[in-house]
Structure 1
Amino acid sequence: MNKLLSFVLLMSLHVYSAAGVARVEINELDKLLPPEPSFPKVCIALKASLVAKNFRLPDDVDADPKNSNPDTERLKMAMNACPRGQAVKIITDGEKNAFLAGPIEIKSGVSLWVDKGVTLFASRSPADYDLGDSYCGTAQPKIKNRCKTWITAKNTVGSGIVGEGVIDGRGGSVLTSGPYAGKTTWWDLSIQSKAKPKLEQNNPRMIEVVGGENFTFYKITITNGAKFHVASKDVTGLTFWGIKVITPSLAYTVPGYKCGKGTMPEPGNLSRPSSCFIPELVKNTDAIDPGRSKNVTLAYSYITTGDDNVAIKSGKGKNSPETINHLYAHNQFYYGHGMSIGSETDAGVENIKIWDLNFDGQDSGHGVGLRIKTDGKRGGEISNVLYQDVCLRRMKDVLVFSPYYSSTNDTNHPPNIHDVVLRNVHYVDYPGAKYNKAKVSFSGYRTATVVNPLKIQLDNVVFDQTPELRKKHYHDVEFTLGPGAVTNLPIEAGESISVKKIGEGKSKAFPCPDSVFKSIPSELSPI
């Protein structure tokens, strides 16, 4: 038995009684969490000079692109003047509650503190993010990623973005410069990936942490990213604690995500800006994408977005594994494409632990739950992954473990997914839900020369109704079932499917009452 299986089995015997499963506030896994962050000392306090109303900055503030980023320079000057270990704090001034900036960089050892009641808004002028070729703010065939990131931290040590305020990327605001000025929003550009012919968005990432150590996001709300909200690469020590990611927010939609006909993005239509958005149509707005990063924690946080809730990545690295030791604990997820690993995993992913996750897919047709996605072009070794104490409901694809994420014919990086454990996972019925009878996928990787079976243990995994098994890639799997019950999953041994049972296969379903699916604690959220 490998080290992970031995550890989690020992842990389950310690925490859970033989009579059934009890939800606990603190268990052995919680001992792995780092201490809760704290707010740093303030070096400089900057007062707001703009007024946001109804979660938005009025368009007339920056309708002229000459006024696109009035606070950029003073934020830069304050950041550069602040000593290490301290923070630049942006605060209200009477009714003034907003800042507006273009690309800024976080200094090493310094944090940006967005105070409660304050919103830092991103420029909506593509010229501010342009790399010199005028592609930012356009949709092009085979040309993408031609924008600067809005907020960047490069090779910082001990920096962060903290506070109980809001950082808003304004993905649904009308662009003010470039060939599509007045004709489109960032999110209108995103949906052109579904057009015929396909076009690539050129939108800025919202926040990017590259290199360095010990970067902290604490209590901040991050919303309406034009593209990925937070992406990292080559970072050791990355903490998200008590944050919220809400996209699209109430600034761009209505409660319940009910948008009228002709108000939403349409593939092939760049002649008018959309005025209302739903999560399914704000493409590539991943919330948290920790790529090639070690010692990552996401805890006590809330995420609803139009793409991956989390996408753990590890691409094109020099060592293996480049992505190791991640902890995801006590989180609430809503709309999204999953608590995901992939798709880029060729540099290796190891030792990922997810526990106490409550995930309500909100009946989205694109909703995904627990997911490992990779392929022969970007695959690699993914091992020692634990999902424990997980409640899920109202999603189309609940469990997706597949090395066939794309239709690529490339086999240079064959995926190898093994030592994956699901323990105390419960998919529950919800009255009137569209996806009570959901779908599951399990597959290993096979070519003419390589066979890497998916090796996965299911221990007390319960579906209230039997899900549909996606059979297209159901092959080359080594299942271990138990010691807890596996209920209503249509798993049987076959030509390339082995099933090993351990223990008595008896247990009560992990408790997932309605009360564990908490509402997002923010007035910005329409759900």
Structure 2
Amino acid sequence: MKMRSTRELAVLGLSVLTLAACGDGNGLGSNTPGGNNGTGGGNTGTPTTWTPGRYAADPNLPDSPALPLDTQVCKVLEASDTLVKNADGSLPASADPTPATYGGATTKLNNPDQARIQAALDACGAAVDAEVGSQIAQADQQAAAKQQAANQPLVNVGGASGETLSNPAYKGSHFAVRLVKSSSGRGNAFLSGPLVLPSGVTLWVDDGVTLFASRDVVVYDKAPQDRPNPITCGAAVNNPAGLPAPAGTVNAGQATLAGVSGMQNCYPLIRGNHTVNAAIMGTGSIDARGYMPLISSSSLYPTIRWATGATEKFTYSGNNITGVVTPKFSCTNTIAAYRAGTLAPEGTACDVVTAMGTATLTTPAVTYVVNRQATSVPSGVTVNSPGCASGTAGCARWVPASWWDVAYHGNKDIGGGPYSFQGNPGMVWLQQSKNLTLYQITLRNSTFFTVEADGVDGLTAWGIKIITPLLPDAANLASVGLNNDGFDGVNGSYSHLYTGAQISASSTGVKNTDGIDPSVANGPEHASLGTGSKTTSGSPIYFDGYVKNVAIVYNYLSPSDDNVAFKGGLPDPRVAGAKGAQNGSPAANMLWGIDGNRDVSSNRTYGITVAHNHDYNGHGLSIGSPTNAGVRNIHFYDNYFDSIYDGTNAATDMGVVGLRIKSGQARGGDVSNIYYDGACMRGIGSFLVFDMYYTDPAADPISYTGLGWQPPSFHDINVSNVRMMNIPSNKAAGKAGAGSLTFRGLHADTSFANTQSVIQLSMNNVVADNDVALSISNLSKGVVNIGSTDGSSQSKAANATLNLGANVSLLGQSFAHGTGGILTNTSSGAGKYTAPTNTLNLTVNGSDDAGSATDTNPAATIVSQNPKLSLCDNPASWPTFPNVK
């Protein structure tokens, strides 16, 4: 039987990685089922002593993960020969065509693989539990007994640590389910609805294989015992505090959505709860197909549709929408009728989708109605889009929304505030886990957050690729958009949102598709391990709900939202006494929900590391927006940011961000001891963003969080060895391709938290190249009801202290300043800051003078003396996003 050596990632320079070939040339072993059924062999046995190693290419990191051995596979599943990818990696529309009638989708076509994949995962989970479940429970009980005996009232009981449970003694001898190509034909794809990843099990997607998500919206809707409210998956609603749900819904009269993410109403594509040693691996890919129109296997299920060629027009009267000329949306049923098992009559007011608007609605505006007709739009509509007239057969009609349509409407059209609700499934969502591993896998076209890991001790994301949106060529066969007659749900275009906006690699129309989000859990739990979709282990395990021992390294990240986001709330796993002054107890008692210094495993230097990543599109390596549970001791180093910002074209700039901390007055907490060391950034819209007004107080009400006012505090933030650059094509064109620096702390508000909080930030070896036009900005979103403390009338306050250490040059060709003035440069050469009339509480200690006054290019001087910054000039430091077909 062919064996395989560990596949490692080698480092080129400081950060560029290559994959070392081994074994049969691709490091994957045989694809033949006979060689991988796991019926023989087994592992080599558990050593009597075991010590985790150290990854040689970066001694700060733990050992690299490895693909399973052939002998460790529980089950090999072959792709059906009816599912063959296009050359560009997409799934042909003919694989699961839009049914002729609504509700006509069938399991055979739209969800053929869910049952057999889940059966294999369940069987593997049961086998692992039978082999090592009792050992895990015993280790956890022993650890918990010691923690309880220590009687530390401010610390949650966590049981056995992730490091302890990573010992081979707690892993099954057969633990992987492997998805492979067909051995008898061309099949190389799987099509499945939601899957449960059991504890101890690895889902292995083989090279050249893609697991595609079913687009049957029905399979993602949660069972009654799992959903937080009766709203269906796929809904887009707005329910402000005090506003009852629309009349006719099951929860009519109740404001049930406050503080609830729409993702909680859907089963994610892959989920797991209370797991130990679970993993998703392989050089294949998983594609959530967020751009595809949704279909339904139930004629009763309420879905959103939009009218081709129609432009929605309405006016505001107070806070209500009136004068609707052309409703853009309809629904196929109401939530209330669906839950009752009936069909609502044509013309019934929709509750699955609310009226569009940028203002909070104080009363429901009935704008959208049930319309199940396939070839008509509302009466009186004239369709005049290119190539499509009202008399064109099959042209003026309702079109099913995609997940990205639902997300955009729920996130933007109906207000975008705290009560906007986009009922989209996440892609991978693991809750309360120890040792969750993502290795080499490609995750594409997510429908919501790509990877959400709540309350995890031991999260490793190593060498993975995340890209959303990735629209393959086959998605635009007709070379036309959704707003005209080229789309028919079978072989038309899926490259536009319903708004008509073209979806591109830098699209802001694809909402909330974060890359990797390590987040605190709701609280500590003592629960049985999830050993399958319907089974649990016999003995409960302790989970403390904190985030610790995280390594996000050597990845390629290009989402349409945060590349990485550490979320320290809104749920807070800490006991009341550990919340410090926020909960009335002494500040000295305060603990942090995300803490890189808590229980650090012996096989690494730092408890939380984000390093050697290549970032393309996205909103940055982030902390927040919720930080109420506290975030500290995170090390970001040697990361690359490469995008297309040229400072001139808002249509393509798309808000690309570098390093970011964000929070607000009702979700804030202590963020401290954050270390950024080594970053090359080029073509980035916002290089550094440290902002306590991510949402203004009116848009972040205490009724939403339920926590009261909790102002954030950002201090001991250390930024070193960062270079801000223009991209070569912009340099050649003479474009000033650079962005802004945002430092915005809290003023003492007159109507809200009434607290001033000043950001404290230190910078060393931070440079902007000479061809960069840089500005310090305060964002464009206004902050309401500010009582200024510096005599200004500005509503966009800085409130930051910048301590400039050695070798800081933020000049470039020019140093711009916003309205009212932030910093100005009036000298030549290296230049120094001069005090403007209105500093908006921005204090700069030190100078950006990098050398003598005669040095006309201080940035180049700094770079020449700094190996990390010089590495940014190495062409090998800027790889294109890898082929993910």
2:641 counterpart of 1:420: no
The aligned runs of 1:6-405 (5 Å cut-off) are 24=14, 30-40=58-68, 41-49=72-80, 50-53=83-86, 54-63=88-97, 64-67=104-107, 68-82=110-124, 83-84=127-128, 85=172, 86-93=175-182, 94-131=185-222, 133=230, 135-142=232-239, 144-145=262-263, 146-177=265-296, 178=301, 179-180=303-304, 182-192=399-409, 193-195=411-413, 200-251=421-472, 262=483, 263-267=495-499, 277-278=504-505, 279-292=507-520, 293-315=547-569, 316-319=571-574, 320-325=591-596, 326-363=608-645, 364-405=653-694
Distance 1:197 1:90, change over 3 A: same
Question: Is this contact kept in 2: 1:172–1:252, CA < 8 A?
Answer: no
Alpha-carbon distance in structure 2 between the residues aligned to 1:445 and 1:31: 39
- Equivalent pairs, count: 496
Deviation at 1:361, TM superposition (A): 2.4
- State the TM-score, normalized to the length of structure 1: 0.87
Residue 73 of structure 1: how far off its partner (Å): 1.5
Shift of the 350–360 alpha-carbon distance from structure 1 to 2, 3 Å rule, reads: same
Please list every run of 5 or more consecutive structure 2 residues that lacks an aligned counterpart in the other structure: 1-12, 17-54, 98-103, 129-171, 224-229, 240-256, 306-398, 484-494, 521-546, 575-590, 597-607, 646-652, 702-707, 779-794, 816-822, 824-832, 852-860, 864-868
Partner Cα separation in structure 2 for residue 426 and residue 484 of structure 1: 11
1:395–1:435 Cα contact (<8 Å) kept: no
Q: 1:440 Cα deviation (Å)?
A: 1.1
Preserved contact between residue 481 and residue 505 of structure 1 (Cα < 8 Å)? no
Kindly indicate which of the two structures has a greater share of residues assigned to helix. Answer: 2
Match of 1:450 among 755, 774, 795: 755
The CA distance in 1 between the partners of 2:517 and 2:656, in whole Å, is 17
Query: Percent identity of the aligned residues?
Result: 35
- Give the superposition deviation at 1:318: 2.8
Root-mean-square deviation (Å) = 2.9
Q: Quick one: distance in 2 between partners of 1:259 and 1:242?
A: 36
Letter in 1 for 2:712: P
- For 1:56 and 1:457, the matched residues in 2 are separated by 46
Q: Is this contact kept in 1: 2:482–2:498, CA < 8 A? A: no
Corresponding residue of 1:467: 774
Counterpart of 1:114 in structure 2: which amino acid?
V
The residue that corresponds to 1:441 in the other structure is 742
One-letter code aligned to 1:96: G
Q: Equivalent residue of 2:116, what SS?
A: helix
Q: Is the 8 A contact 2:15 2:554 kept in 1?
A: no
What is the distance in 2 between the residues matched to 1:116 and 1:517?
25
Check the 8 A contact 1:127/1:134 in 2, yes or no: no
* 329 and 29 in structure 1: CA distance in 2 versus 1, 3 angstrom threshold: farther
Amino acid across the alignment from 1:117: G
The farther-off stretch of 213-222 and 125-134 is 125-134
* Contact kept? 1:253, 1:277, Cα under 8 Å: no
Q: 1:58 to 1:437 in 2, by over 3 A?
A: closer
Cα deviation 1:92-150 (Å, max 9, x = unaligned)? 01311111111111111111000001111111111001125462123222363321112
TM alignment of 1:446-525, pairs within 5 A? 446-447=747-748, 449-464=754-769, 465-471=772-778, 473-488=796-811, 490=823, 494=839, 496-501=841-846, 508-509=862-863, 510-511=869-870, 512-513=872-873, 514-524=875-885
**Partner SS for 1:232:** strand
Comparing 389-398 with 196-205, which one deviates more in the overlay?
A: 196-205
Change (3 A) 1:207 1:459: same
Q: Could you tell me whether the CA contact under 8 Å between 2:658 and 2:686 is conserved in 1?
A: yes
Q: Residues 62-91 of structure 1: CA distance to partner in whole angstroms, max 9, x if unpaired?
A: 335322222112112111222333211110
Shift of 1:252: 6.4
Partner of 1:4: none
Q: CA deviation at 1:426?
A: 0.5
Partners of 1:341 and 1:259 lie apart in 2 by 39
Secondary structure of 1:31's match? coil
In 2 relative to 1, CA 413–28 (structure 1 residues): closer, same or farther, beyond 3 Å?
A: farther
Shift of 1:202: 1.1
Q: Is the 8 A contact 1:252 1:276 kept in 2?
A: no
Which protein shows a greater Rg? 2
Could you tell me which amino acid in structure 2 is paired with residue 406 of structure 1?
T
Amino acid at match of 2:400: K
1:469-490, Cα deviation, whole Å (9 max, x unpaired): 1146453222211123333265
Please identify which structure carries the higher strand content: 1
AA paired with 1:487? L
2:281–2:438 Cα contact (<8 Å) kept: yes
Q: Check the 8 A contact 2:809/2:848 in 1, yes or no.
A: no
Give the gaps of 5 or more residues in structure 1. 1-22
Describe the shift of the 1:473–1:399 C-alpha distance in structure 2 as closer, same or farther (beyond 3 A): farther
1:404 alignment partner AA: Y
